[in-house]
Amino acid sequence: MQARGWQITLFAPPDSPALKQAQQENLLVQQLSSRSKTFSLGAARQMSTYLRQQQIRVLIVTQNRDLGLVSLVKLLMGKQIHLVYQQHMQLGPPKRDWFHTLRFRVLDAWLSPLPWLAKQVTEKTRFDPAKVHVVPLGIELASFIDPGLTKAAAREQLGLPATSTLLGLLGRLDDGKGQDFVIEVIQQLRTQHQRAVELVLMGELTKNEGDEYLAKLHQLVRDYNLEQVVHFRPFSAQTEVFYRAIDVFVMASTNETYGMVTIEAMAAGLPVLGTRIGGTAEIIKDGQTGLLYPVGDTEACTQAVLRCLNNPAWAQHLGQAAQQEAIREYAHERQCALTEQIIRRVTSSE
């Protein structure tokens, strides 16, 4: 948005990752004194004072927990400020009670990243449907489209086999992400279908939640004698190297709200296999930009992998179509353009 001519200020708590990143990128930042409680009058006054001084008219909220704070800001500033909420997660239980109705009423626009999430808003809240807009969360896609290295170089960098067919899954090591499921798929491909495929799992454990799941994965690999063909790699911020190294990307999450890694894999031009649920089912167009399979169905996922392996030209076409879809729908430039339109709309009545 700043590149489009907007003056941007980020409000964030001290020592937060977002604050540090903004400082590294030389963005204007304001540290909030407190965000720990739903109603933080001190933080609201601090924010209101700054907004008035800088003559800022639009405040975009990206965290549900901050809605209480910005509601106070709205009470303090009235029509001087417009509130836009950028939804990231599912709504969960219905929120049609008086408390949520009053809280949401202060919002001038609600941005949902996918149509099914926008539908949730209209079904589970009393928020005005006319103020709900679908604005996909954008990604800077250039590094995935052209990572600047060959497949061979990417594999060498990650210490992976040079010539094997590699399936890959990138994500937090968690039962809900389905790494154990993909290990089952690899076992089925190698034993029942005699396909010499290997698997790369890149990710890290959730902080402070123990390593039981990782231990389970390693035990499953040992039980199937797959130690030489399942490759664990720690998470790296240079995820484009991972995508360049693999041949097929498998999204195995049991409940994915949006799926940034799905979009990244599409942008990398990979054939993408995903679970037919949540945001994945809307991002992937089955048979056109990827393949969908039922959650937990190892046979269906196995057949989807075989379809790609048996038809490499078709799989390449699938990846190319996915890349074009990612560029068209999920580039950060599109999110900025759509958000800009809504900002102009909510401020046009002034």
- Is there a single domain that holds both residue 72 and residue 122? yes
- Is there a single domain that holds both residue 122 and residue 231? no
* Ramachandran sector of residue 287 (left: φ over 0; alpha: ψ -120 to 50; beta: rest): left
- Is there a single domain that holds both residue 127 and residue 194? no
- Is there a single domain that holds both residue 86 and residue 178? no
- Is there a single domain that holds both residue 167 and residue 60? no
- Is there a single domain that holds both residue 115 and residue 177? no
- Is there a single domain that holds both residue 337 and residue 308? no
- Is there a single domain that holds both residue 83 and residue 39? yes
pLDDT in tens, 314-346: 999 999 999 999 999 999 999 999 999 999 999
CA distance 115 to 121: 10
CA distance 166 to 160: 9
- Is there a single domain that holds both residue 71 and residue 102? yes
Q: Report the domain count for the chain.
A: 2
- Is there a single domain that holds both residue 257 and residue 341? no
CATH number at residue 47: 3.40.50.2000
CA distance 61 to 70: 8
- Is there a single domain that holds both residue 150 and residue 102? no
- Is there a single domain that holds both residue 210 and residue 303? yes
pLDDT in tens, 201-244: 999 987 777 899 999 999 999 999 999 999 999 999 999 999 99
CA distance 209 to 191: 34
Mean pLDDT by 10 residues, the chain (350 residues): 86 80 82 61 88 94 90 93 95 94 95 96 96 96 95 97 97 94 97 96 86 95 97 95 98 92 98 95 96 97 98 97 97 95 87
314: domain range?
142-330
